[in-house]
Amino acid sequence: MGYRLLVIDDEEMIRKGILARISYLQIEFLQIREAACGQEALALLEKEPADIVLTDIRMPDMDGLSFIEEAKKKWPLMKFVVLSGYAEFEYAERSLELGVSAYLLKPLSNEALREIMEKLFVSIRKEANVRAALKEQEQLEYQKQEYLLEKEVNSLLGETEERSISREMYPVLYRLCPQMMSDGQGKFLVVIIKIDAQSYEQNWFGREDAELLRFSVKNVFDELSSSCEKVIVNNLSKKDQLYGLFYGNSTKLLKREAEHIFLEMKNLLENKMALYLTFGCSSVTEWVGEKNAREARAALQQRIVYGHSNLYFYDDMLVIQDMKLPMTEMNLLQQYLQRRDIGNIQVMIREIFSEEKVLKYHAPYIRMMWMRVLNLLIRNLGSSTNRMEVVDRMLHSFSLSEEIERIDELQEEYVRLVTECLGEEGGMDTNARNKIRMAVRYIEQHYNEDISVNELAERYDMSPNYFSSLFKKEMKQSTVNYITDLRISKAMEYLCKSDKSVVEIAKNVGYEDCNYFFRVFKKAVGVTPQQYRAGKRK
């Protein structure tokens, strides 16, 4: 394995001399780079880290010890060697405090250079072996905990009595999701996730890949963010099924989260792996047991009549039994979506959500049919560059039926959303544009505070990905770049019109770390803050 070296010294002759000695001594490196000062070195490391850094102490802009202190924050495993022309105790003491591997004095002998490099090579190899062993141990421990969690949840869903989930009976579940057992105020929803047979009919996977598919489903489920606690495990009695457990403070929240998780998993797994899932959801209860699993299985059975790759709620079963679902309209909608026949798509949406059907079956009907419409949309979106943005927009559409009071308004909103998702209008809706403008005003008022994209997205009721995409479309630059440009612009004003120090100005525009502000300013403006101020005052 080759190692990467970075040599830092403000005198080019010394740098070239060190490189010549390394070549003469046949000390092999995968990569060798040079820097004339600490700031330049940090910029190089940002592009690609090094394994070993050999640095002088006294340099302009940033001395060697300040550089090491800054670099260690980001690259703690990097090895540092100080090369100094000064045998001063203060420098040596500070080097030891920073964990420097060696403090060498100029002129450097060939023997000393060879010896320290060989020691560092051995040290790096040993540390890499230790990390690999620890990682292997962690993996074994993770697999053990995963198996114990599976046993606990499968056992829990076999309980016939309604009783609280105790820490003693389910220690792993308690450690991973303590809220499920601590407050006693929340509610549970159990989901059976079935890997549809269609997943094995695309010539990608065989039945022998069942464990691989379950592993993929678990990974995606765990990675997706949620407003409630959730956990997923294998169903130990059926190889094509998994159990999902949701915990939150309201029935509405849990159903909404199950819908969102289903659609996001559908979008990711069908598009990338041709892996198809059906969700069967129990009713929402205050306890978890065999009854929840039975209800989830009954909900899952609806796929036989109403189709696979969908989500079914147990609570909707009684409504469904009396409901004449518009299957003909759904089949026609599928055909029109494949042909991108916008006119007939709009007709079908209005027919599916007609006044007669909505008044007869109410909210369960709206939820079920909108889920099926979204299902068809995701299936027919293709692989356009804005696919994720479109899916994000659809995932945030469930609240429409709660906000709109008239059926004709609901129809038109669904028609508009579907048409927009298919690219007929292609633009950002007015409500979203207004939210981005509100976000811009908020940034302008709070640019000197710690602002994150996640915080802004939550403030304006969007997902981070959707917010970022809309912001860039409206403002022609990313949120982070917009905030940075605004801060630098304000800093330039301070530098021109005030006598405040660079440290004060950095804090006034939102940077606690003065060195980081220095780098950002120089990258944006091309000169340091001091040089900018001096140039303007001339």
Spatial distance between the Cα atoms of 146 and 144, rounded to a whole number of angstroms = 5
Residue 510 gets the label, from left (phi > 0), alpha (psi -120 to 50) or beta, of: left
Residues 238 and 377 in one domain: no
Asked if 34 and 50 touch (Cβ cutoff 8 Å), the reply is no
Spatial distance between the Cα atoms of 283 and 260, rounded to a whole number of angstroms = 17
Q: Where residue 15 sits, what CATH number does that domain have?
A: 3.40.50.2300
Residues 120 and 268 in one domain: no
Among 427, 448, 465, give the residue marking a domain's end. 427
pLDDT of residue 119: 92
Q: How many CB atoms lie within 10 A of CB 125?
A: 12
* Residue at 149 is within a domain: no
Spatial distance between the Cα atoms of 357 and 379, rounded to a whole number of angstroms = 25
Residues near 120 by beta carbon (within 8 Å), at least 6 away in sequence: 52, 79, 81, 101
* Residue at 140 is within a domain: no
Residues 348 and 388 in one domain: yes
Residues 119 and 211 in one domain: no
Q: Where residue 277 sits, what CATH number does that domain have?
A: 3.30.70.270
Asked if 157 and 189 touch (Cβ cutoff 8 Å), the reply is no
* Residue at 114 is within a domain: yes
Residues 303 and 209 in one domain: yes
Residues 69 and 194 in one domain: no
Instruction: Enter the tokens of residue 400.
Output: 């429409």
Q: Where residue 464 sits, what CATH number does that domain have?
A: 1.10.10
Per DSSP, the three-state class of 377 is: helix
* Residue at 485 is within a domain: yes
Digitized pLDDT (tens) for each residue of the chain, 538 residues in all:
579 999 999 888 888 998 999 999 999 899 999 998 888 999 999 999 999 999 888 887 788 888 988 899 999 999 999 888 766 666 667 777 788 888 888 777 888 889 999 999 999 999 888 888 888 887 777 677 778 888 888 888 887 776 666 666 777 777 766 666 655 678 889 999 999 888 887 667 777 888 889 999 999 998 888 888 899 999 988 889 999 999 888 888 898 888 889 888 888 888 788 888 999 999 998 888 899 999 999 888 888 767 788 888 888 776 655 555 566 777 788 888 877 777 788 888 888 888 877 776 666 677 777 777 877 777 776 555 455 566 666 666 655 555 566 777 778 878 877 877 776 434 445 556 667 878 888 888 888 888 888 888 877 767 777 788 888 888 888 898 999 999 999 999 888 888 888 888 988 898 888 888 888 888 888 888 888 888 877 6
Residues 329 and 416 in one domain: yes
pLDDT of residue 203: 64
* HEC per residue, 222-246: HHCCCCCEEEEEECCCCCCEEEEEE
Residues 352 and 266 in one domain: no
* Residue at 369 is within a domain: yes
Q: How many CB atoms lie within 10 A of CB 119?
A: 13
Instruction: Name beta bridge partners: 189.
Output: 246
Residues 167 and 306 in one domain: yes
Spatial distance between the Cα atoms of 281 and 313, rounded to a whole number of angstroms = 5
Q: Quick one: CA torsion of 396, 398, 400, 406, rounded to 10 degrees? A: 160
Among 272, 298, 315, give the residue marking a domain's end. 315
* Residue at 150 is within a domain: no
Asked if 398 and 355 touch (Cβ cutoff 8 Å), the reply is no
Q: How many domains does the chain have?
A: 5
Residues 245 and 193 in one domain: yes
* Residue at 147 is within a domain: no
Instruction: Enter the tokens of residue 427.
Output: 């633009």
Residues 114 and 164 in one domain: no
Residues 198 and 286 in one domain: yes
Domain that holds residue 375: 323-427
Spatial distance between the Cα atoms of 368 and 145, rounded to a whole number of angstroms = 37
Q: Where residue 492 sits, what CATH number does that domain have?
A: 1.10.10.60
Among 427, 445, 460, give the residue marking a domain's end. 427
* Residue at 231 is within a domain: yes
Question: What are the C-alpha distances in Å from 75 to residues 33, 49, 70, 79, 134?
Answer: 17, 8, 9, 9, 19
Asked if 155 and 164 touch (Cβ cutoff 8 Å), the reply is no
